[in-house]
Amino acid sequence: MSVTLSPRTEDLIQRWIDIGAYPDANAVLRDALRLLEEQKQGRQWLRAESQSAVEQAERGELIDFTPERFAEIKRRALENAQQGMPIRDAVTP
């Protein structure tokens, strides 16, 4: 596969290499793609948790959806994504 990068993207990749964070461009892109996948899985898990909250509300169960609760859901979503936990089919795009 051949990919053409913009000069700005090439500069960003080169900076990561220059500071010693990565040995080469492939390593930079590999890590970037891994992070994108984790982010996608985290969003899917968050959607699942949000759907669960909606279902609880529809059953008449009180939900205190505070910023702290949202932060906890987001934290668990990221942890689960990093651990490769499955996403419920109901929230998979």
Q: What tens digit of pLDDT does each residue of 44-77 get?
A: 777 777 777 777 777 777 667 788 877 887 787 7
More confident residue, 87 or 65: 65
What span, in angstroms and rounded, lies between the C-alpha atoms of 46 and 91?
9
Q: What tens digit of pLDDT does each residue of 23-53 get?
A: 999 999 999 998 888 888 777 777 777 777 7
Q: Is the pTM of this model over 0.75?
A: no
What span, in angstroms and rounded, lies between the C-alpha atoms of 33 and 1?
15
Count of C-beta atoms within a 10 Å radius of residue 16: 16
